Amino acid sequence: MKHVRIGGLVLMGLLICAGPVATLADDTTIVAGMDQRTGLNLTVYQNGLALVDEVRHVTTHQETEKLVISGISPRLIPGSAQLTGAGLSIRALDYRLSGLSPRALLARSVGRQVGIIKTHPTTGEESIIPAQVLSVAEGVVLRIDGRFETGIPGRLVFDDIPADLEYSPAVVAMINAGESHDGDIGFQYLSDGLGWRADHTVNVHETATGLTLDLESWASVENNTGVSFDQASLALVAGSVNRTSQPQPQLRMETMSMAMADAPGGNQPSREALGDFHLYAVPGTFDLTSPGNIQVLLGTQTGLAAEKQYVLNGNGQAFYGRVATDQQPLERADIRYRFTNEGSEPLAGGTARLYGVDSQGIKRFLGEAHLSSSATGDQIVIGTGKAFDLSASRKQLGFERRGANNNVFETSHELILRNASPRDATMEVREQVVGDWEILETSHANARDGMTAVWKIDIPASGEVVLRYRIRIQR
């Protein structure tokens, strides 16, 4: 037996005595369900927002007063719906997004009489006891035989379903009677729960002659709206559009599926400008289940020339006071891959996952990082973790503070840079300094990058190099 939890209590089962009467189609009420859908376009944004653009075929009569559009997203943003059609005059829109559920049915039954099914403990015979629903605010309150009871002592039975409770989320359009319409209508609305993100697969090829990368860019489209979209045309907008409405609550997800979607004929999405954003029109149509996730190939680049860098970043804290040598732990260099977007299309920001092969040719995961949105020709840097074999230990050799306001710091440091790998390596040491600074002495040539002092030092295989410098800082 299925149990549905309501407000901390448990509703066991649900019986409907009468047949379905929630949205009967007659001359005054016309239902335009998903069977009447003749077209569907989805414009999906990166911040979990989508514009749903539907076409449905509708026939109304002169007596028609209500047009019920069902099978819509439960996470529709009220106030965003637009309904258009030649000869169709709209007076009002009624958003009924809850749909049929035990909770919604109980809420609509406050003040009404329901039945409680009791089962005889010996004979098993069932009987129905009348009860009045008084409240469902913080649990269910019933009046039974003149007594007030909390909780649900058995299964509930309802004689009918309130006319304003739809079986599925719907928008009810109040139209002007006296007019008829036979043809397609356009129905557009914004919905939360449908968004996309970029995922980039980077395969690293490292040889004695250099380093190259193969890049695949994918769009992962995730549907958590609570409704499936079948045979939908799909367009993806790169960039974050501004919004003021709060996201609609997300439905609880039971499962999540993922599919790799190939465009017909292997075609990749075409890109065009949409205002100040980029719009990717994906060829073909797609079925987006809820919950579900599909991946669409955005583009590929092969043989990208790349450089692997080892970077040691200092935090600058050792420049403004005395530091005990035993308080400075061993540091390991960051691994960074640098390359240029050589493709004809920009790269949407997202997660980049890097893979390499071992000596047996087996693919291995090397790490992942965020890849910022990049135009054609942009330099891209992806950090994948800490190098195991390249490390540094620090020691403060001296410290002095002087000046009229005690705001001049002069300090000297020693860094022992170690390379435990069997290959020569170059380590880039970057010391970020706050204030007006000058390198007074250094054992190796350095450069200035804004507020950062930079050294690029070659370290032999299985060897080490000592870097010493003295710096003056005025703050």
DSSP readout, 354-406?
EEEE-TTS-EEEEEEEEE--B-TT-EEEEEEEEEEEEEEEEEEEEEEEESTTS
466 in helix, strand or coil? strand
The number of beta carbons lying within 10 Å of the beta carbon of residue 81 is: 19
Per-residue pLDDT, averaged over 101-106, amounts to 73
Could you tell me the maximum CA-CA distance found in the chain, to the nearest angstrom?
Answer: 99
Q: Tell me the two tokens of residue 15.
A: 């019986």
Q: Read off the amino acid at residue 447.
A: A
CA 135 to CA 107: how far, in whole Å? Answer: 8
Q: What is the predicted pLDDT for the residue at 325? A: 65
How would residue 167 be classed by pLDDT, with cut points 50, 70 and 90?
A: low
Look at residues 294, 79, 320 and name the one whose alpha carbon lies nearest to residue 196: 294
Instruction: With cut-offs at 50, 70 and 90, classify the pLDDT of residue 9.
Output: very low
pLDDT band at residue 139 using 50, 70 and 90 as cut-offs: confident
Q: What is the pLDDT of residues 402-412, one digit of tens each?
A: 887 888 999 99
Question: Which burial class, exposed, middle or buried, applies to 43 when counting CB atoms under 10 A from its CB (0-12, 13-18, 19+)?
Answer: buried
pLDDT for residue 251: 44
Q: Which amino acid does the sequence have at 147?
A: R
**Per-residue confidence at 3, pLDDT binned at 50, 70, 90?**
very low
Residue 73: pLDDT band (50, 70, 90) is: very high
Give the pLDDT band (50/70/90) at residue 326. Answer: low
Residue indicated by tokens 């309904």:
83
Tokens standing for 312? 């040691």
Which has more pLDDT, 101 or 372?
372
Q: Which of 84-98, 114-128, 388-402 has the highest mean pLDDT?
A: 388-402
Residue range 345-359: average pLDDT? 91
pLDDT score at 264: 40
Task: Measure the CA–CA gap between 445 and 469, rounded to whole angstroms.
Answer: 10
CB 112 within 8 A of CB 132: yes
β-strands 29-32, 66-70 pairing: parallel
Q: What is the tens place of the pLDDT at every residue in 146-166? A: 888 887 777 888 877 766 555
Give the amino acid at 63.
E
Q: How many CB atoms lie within 10 A of CB 157?
A: 17
Average pLDDT of the segment spanning 191-219:
92
Residues of the chain with pLDDT > 90, as a percent, come to 43
Closest CA to 106 of 74, 73, 139: 139
pLDDT at residue 22 in the model: 34
CB proximity list for 441: less than 8 A, separation 6 or greater? 412, 468, 469, 470
User: How confident is the model at residue 155, as a pLDDT?
Assistant: 81
